[in-house]
Amino acid sequence: MYRSHNCGELNASHINKEVTLAGWVQKSRDKGFIVWVDLRDRYGITQLVFDEERTSKDMMEQAQNLGREFVIQVKGTVIERASKNPNIPTGDIEILVSELNILNEAKLPPFTIEDKTDGGEDLRMKYRYLDIRRNPVKNNLIFRHKVTQEVRNYLSQEGFIEVETPYLIKSTPEGARDFVVPSRMNEGQFYALPQSPQTFKQLLMVGGMDKYFQIVKCFRDEDLRADRQPEFTQIDCEMAFIEQEDILNAFEGLTRHLLKEVKGIEIDKFPRIQYDDAMRLYGNDKPDIRFGMEFGELNDVAQHKDFGVFNSAELVVGIAVPGGNSYTRKEIDKLIDWVKRPQVGALGMVYCRCNEDGTFKSSVDKFYDQDDLAKWAEVTGAKAGDLICVLSGDKNKVRAQLSALRMELAERLGLRNPDEFAPLWVMDFPLLEWDEDTERYHAMHHPFTSPKPGQLELLKTDPGAVKANAYDLVLNGNEIGGGSIRIHDKETQSLMFDYLGFTPEEAKAQFGFLMDAFQYGAPPHGGLAFGLDRLVSILGGQETIRDFIAFPKNNAGRDVMIDAPAPIDDTQLSELNLKLNINQ
């Protein structure tokens, strides 16, 4: 065998034992008469020692020529280490090597294989197989495994059945753009890779599986915003004969289990907030509630003077920044520049200092007196020593802008503690949203989402006011899961397709198989899908999903390690009956 032990398990209890180890050379220190080598594998590091008194001349020369990342096997005796290292589990011992076997030499790596490396992100992605040897990436992947195993264990114990669904499916027009796959055996026809197993899990409920889950790859061919991937992993779940409360209880249970088993944290309360309130108080539908800074809408107390910027705005809204009165004018000017960046898009920012003596000093003192500014403080909850930041404009835009500012300020103030976890349910999303470009309604979630009970008739008179029987689970300002109670009868589903602009023929062509299934006794059902990549990264104290994916793609959707996507040759194109028509 190549090894009797791994490089992380030997300690003082093994002294005088003969062992065999194998791994990579982390580094070596050559003093001429003695050579120390750190041998690394997945489990840790063990120090090897070669000295001229006890090591043959040939082996000594071999040891002196070992390079970084050489793959070696050694046999030797565990001895007590003269200079102990309390920072590693094997720090009390070292191996006096009696036999050295070089299994594979290695080129000098393009970056150092250490926790704090000198390699930039692009370089490390190109050599991801080397990056995985580093503890931060290795430990992230092991952590992901642990979370995944806990998910499987919990759901299995709760009676869920893991079922695989197809990757080669039918393209549908809703949601993001599909990745498509040409079919050689069906000329001119294409499969699509699933954006989610939505229709299949509904069919499994029709099939009587009752409780289903799957840890599954999903695919979306969309322009990648920050920290998105074209392929991602969901914990996809569905349940039959349930109502919304059953779903919420089931997946609160899973989330509690993960927080306890993986992080050692127990959380009792999962607060709930209406979508409309989340937008009003935080400016987005996935608010971070680890800190305050709730929005205060100022229209009633700011639009009665001669300040035209506020008077012409649909919404005037502010937040109180705790301790922000200590900011210098230069620091406030930098905040104003920050909100004016194209990524945020504000035209400017009004501010008001809340002085310790109870007075106020604002950038618009010309228009507002002390009584006016006191009302601003009351509405935003500002206290002495705080700073009120105010934005105005179109309601939807200004809420998004102030939300971005709120998160930036929280980051600067150290209010987003990665070791604190604040889950939140966001409830009752709009069922439909109007698209100005196509001049029709689109499903905010997907076309199989049921309206709230009692609101079906409202579809005929005010479609935009109908609420969905849908819910998102938010953790630390990130959506980690979302789902809904599904439509389970053909009539309601047909009505939904009508409001989404499908003709009966289009609905039949795209979703006829699902409509047909509903005619054979579909149970009431609903579910939820967690984003595994995001969930794991947040539990791991980070918000970059790429660090928890073994082989991620860059922001252009490319795998720079294997150089994909790539052209295919003319023979393959011919077999697929395809011709390229690329505009240069």
Lowest average pLDDT, out of 50-64, 190-204, 277-291, 439-453, goes to 439-453
Task: Kindly state the average pLDDT of the residues 31-57.
Answer: 95
Neighbouring residues of 278: CB distance < 8 A, sequence distance ≥ 6: 284, 285, 286, 287, 426
CA distance 56 to 35: 13
What does the pLDDT look like over 13-25, one tens digit per residue? 999 999 999 999 9
**pLDDT beyond 90 at 446:** no
- pLDDT band with cut points at 50, 70 and 90 for residue 108: very high
The reported pLDDT for the residue numbered 453 is 87
Neighbouring residues of 307: CB distance < 8 A, sequence distance ≥ 6: 364, 367, 368
- Say if residue 174 carries a ligand binding annotation: yes
Task: Kindly state the average pLDDT of the residues 27-40.
Answer: 95
- Say if residue 229 carries a ligand binding annotation: yes
What does the pLDDT look like over 421-430, one tens digit per residue? 999 999 999 9
**pLDDT beyond 90 at 114:** yes
- Please say whether the beta carbons of 437 and 449 come within 8 A: no
- 461 or 335, greater pLDDT: 335
User: What is the CB neighbour count within 10 angstroms for residue 56?
Assistant: 13
What distance lies between CA 400 and its chain's CA centroid?
Answer: 20
**Largest separation between any pair of C-alpha atoms in the chain:** 93
- Say if residue 479 carries a ligand binding annotation: yes
- Say if residue 531 carries a ligand binding annotation: yes
The reported pLDDT for the residue numbered 20 is 98
**pLDDT beyond 90 at 396:** yes
CA distance 299 to 317: 7
The reported pLDDT for the residue numbered 358 is 95
How buried is residue 565: exposed, middle or buried, by Cβ count under 10 Å (0-12/13-18/19+)?
exposed
- Say if residue 532 carries a ligand binding annotation: yes
Task: Kindly state the average pLDDT of the residues 393-421.
Answer: 96
- Nearest CA to 133 out of 23, 4, 10, 232 is that of 23
- pLDDT band with cut points at 50, 70 and 90 for residue 348: very high
What does the pLDDT look like over 270-299, one tens digit per residue? 999 999 999 999 999 999 999 999 999 999
- pLDDT band with cut points at 50, 70 and 90 for residue 173: low
The reported pLDDT for the residue numbered 491 is 86
**pLDDT beyond 70 at 539:** yes
The reported pLDDT for the residue numbered 512 is 87
The reported pLDDT for the residue numbered 174 is 60
**pLDDT beyond 80 at 435:** no
CA distance 181 to 568: 13
What does the pLDDT look like over 247-264, one tens digit per residue? 999 999 999 999 999 999
Q: What is the DSSP string of 390-445?
A: EEEESHHHHHHHHHHHHHHHHHHTT---TT---EEEEE--BSEEEETTTTEEEESS
- pLDDT band with cut points at 50, 70 and 90 for residue 175: low
- Say if residue 222 carries a ligand binding annotation: yes
The reported pLDDT for the residue numbered 490 is 87
- Say if residue 433 carries a ligand binding annotation: no
**pLDDT beyond 90 at 66:** yes
The reported pLDDT for the residue numbered 74 is 98
- pLDDT band with cut points at 50, 70 and 90 for residue 75: very high
The reported pLDDT for the residue numbered 360 is 97
Mean pLDDT, the chain, whole residue set: 94
- Please say whether the beta carbons of 131 and 69 come within 8 A: no
How buried is residue 10: exposed, middle or buried, by Cβ count under 10 Å (0-12/13-18/19+)?
buried
The reported pLDDT for the residue numbered 233 is 97
The reported pLDDT for the residue numbered 444 is 82
Task: Kindly state the average pLDDT of the residues 433-444.
Answer: 78
The reported pLDDT for the residue numbered 464 is 84
Task: Kindly state the average pLDDT of the residues 387-411.
Answer: 97
What does the pLDDT look like over 466-477, one tens digit per residue? 999 999 999 999
**pLDDT beyond 70 at 409:** yes
pTM: 0.92
- pLDDT band with cut points at 50, 70 and 90 for residue 584: low
How do beta strands 44-51 and 93-104 pair? parallel
CA distance 510 to 491: 16
The reported pLDDT for the residue numbered 417 is 94
- Say if residue 445 carries a ligand binding annotation: yes
